[in-house]
Protein backbone atom coordinates (compact mmCIF):
# COMPACT_ATOMS: atom_id res chain seq x y z
CA UNK A 1 0.00 0.00 0.00
CA UNK A 2 2.78 2.42 0.92
CA UNK A 3 4.66 1.54 -2.25
CA UNK A 4 1.60 2.38 -4.37
CA UNK A 5 1.18 5.73 -2.65
CA UNK A 6 4.87 6.45 -3.10
CA UNK A 7 4.57 5.74 -6.83
CA UNK A 8 1.57 8.03 -7.13
CA UNK A 9 3.43 10.84 -5.36
CA UNK A 10 6.48 10.30 -7.56
CA UNK A 11 4.31 10.45 -10.70
CA UNK A 12 2.62 13.62 -9.44
CA UNK A 13 6.01 15.24 -8.85
CA UNK A 14 7.15 14.26 -12.35
CA UNK A 15 3.95 15.65 -13.84
CA UNK A 16 4.39 18.88 -11.89
CA UNK A 17 7.96 19.23 -13.21
CA UNK A 18 6.77 18.60 -16.78
CA UNK A 19 4.03 21.21 -16.44
CA UNK A 20 6.52 23.76 -15.08
CA UNK A 21 8.78 23.05 -18.06
CA UNK A 22 5.79 23.38 -20.40
CA UNK A 23 4.93 26.77 -18.96
CA UNK A 24 8.45 27.95 -19.77
CA UNK A 25 8.21 26.55 -23.30
CA UNK A 26 4.85 28.23 -23.85
CA UNK A 27 6.51 31.63 -23.46
CA UNK A 28 8.20 30.94 -26.80
CA UNK A 29 5.03 29.91 -28.63
CA UNK A 30 2.63 32.41 -30.12
CA UNK A 31 -0.93 32.65 -31.35
CA UNK A 32 -2.39 35.30 -33.61
CA UNK A 33 -5.98 36.49 -33.72
CA UNK A 34 -7.70 39.18 -35.71
CA UNK A 35 -11.00 41.00 -35.84
CA UNK A 36 -12.83 43.16 -38.33
CA UNK A 37 -11.81 40.98 -41.24
CA UNK A 38 -8.13 41.41 -40.41
CA UNK A 39 -8.25 45.15 -39.72
CA UNK A 40 -6.83 44.54 -36.23
CA UNK A 41 -4.57 41.64 -35.31
CA UNK A 42 -2.92 40.66 -32.03
CA UNK A 43 0.00 38.30 -31.41
CA UNK A 44 0.20 36.79 -27.94
CA UNK A 45 2.53 34.26 -26.36
CA UNK A 46 1.59 31.20 -24.33
CA UNK A 47 1.85 33.22 -21.13
CA UNK A 48 -0.96 35.41 -22.47
CA UNK A 49 1.27 38.43 -22.90
CA UNK A 50 0.43 40.64 -25.88
CA UNK A 51 3.53 40.81 -28.08
CA UNK A 52 2.19 42.98 -30.87
CA UNK A 53 -0.90 44.75 -32.16
CA UNK A 54 -1.27 45.58 -35.85
CA UNK A 55 -3.90 48.03 -37.04
CA UNK A 56 -4.78 48.46 -40.70
CA UNK A 57 -4.20 52.13 -41.60
CA UNK A 58 -7.67 52.29 -43.16
CA UNK A 59 -9.20 51.88 -39.71
CA UNK A 60 -7.34 54.89 -38.36
CA UNK A 61 -8.28 57.01 -41.37
CA UNK A 62 -11.95 56.44 -40.61
CA UNK A 63 -11.50 58.24 -37.31
CA UNK A 64 -13.99 55.90 -35.72
CA UNK A 65 -12.26 55.46 -32.37
CA UNK A 66 -15.10 53.45 -30.78
CA UNK A 67 -14.97 50.87 -33.56
CA UNK A 68 -11.18 50.67 -33.31
CA UNK A 69 -11.38 50.09 -29.57
CA UNK A 70 -13.98 47.34 -30.08
CA UNK A 71 -11.81 45.65 -32.72
CA UNK A 72 -8.74 45.72 -30.48
CA UNK A 73 -10.71 44.26 -27.56
CA UNK A 74 -12.13 41.53 -29.80
CA UNK A 75 -8.71 40.60 -31.19
CA UNK A 76 -7.11 40.52 -27.72
CA UNK A 77 -9.92 38.36 -26.34
CA UNK A 78 -9.63 35.94 -29.25
CA UNK A 79 -5.85 35.74 -28.78
CA UNK A 80 -6.36 34.95 -25.08
CA UNK A 81 -8.85 32.21 -25.98
CA UNK A 82 -6.42 30.69 -28.49
CA UNK A 83 -3.54 30.90 -26.03
CA UNK A 84 -5.62 29.08 -23.40
CA UNK A 85 -6.57 26.38 -25.92
CA UNK A 86 -2.92 25.93 -26.86
CA UNK A 87 -1.95 25.52 -23.20
CA UNK A 88 -4.79 23.07 -22.54
CA UNK A 89 -3.73 20.90 -25.48
CA UNK A 90 -0.14 20.81 -24.26
CA UNK A 91 -1.21 19.93 -20.71
CA UNK A 92 -3.41 17.11 -22.04
CA UNK A 93 -0.31 15.63 -23.67
CA UNK A 94 1.48 15.61 -20.31
CA UNK A 95 -1.42 14.38 -18.18
CA UNK A 96 -2.76 11.90 -20.70
CA UNK A 97 -6.09 13.73 -20.69
CA UNK A 98 -6.42 13.54 -16.90
CA UNK A 99 -8.24 16.61 -15.58
CA UNK A 100 -6.24 18.14 -12.75
CA UNK A 101 -8.09 20.83 -10.76
CA UNK A 102 -6.49 24.24 -10.90
CA UNK A 103 -4.53 23.74 -14.11
CA UNK A 104 -7.24 25.07 -16.47
Name the residue ranges covered by the structural domains of the chain. Answer: 2-95
The pLDDT of residue 62: 58
The pLDDT of residue 59: 75
- The answer to whether the beta carbons of residues 30 and 51 sit under 8 Å apart is yes
Indicate the pTM of the whole model.
0.58
- The CATH superfamily holding the domain 2-95 is Nucleoid-associated protein YbaB-like domain (3.30.1310.10)
pLDDT mean over 55-76: 79
**Gap between the Cα atoms of 23 and 20, Å rounded:** 5
pLDDT mean over 89-99: 79
pLDDT mean over 32-45: 88
pLDDT mean over 17-24: 83
Amino acid sequence: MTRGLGNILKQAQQMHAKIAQLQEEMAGKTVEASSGGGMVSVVMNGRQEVLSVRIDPEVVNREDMEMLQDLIAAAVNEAIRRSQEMMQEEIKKITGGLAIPGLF
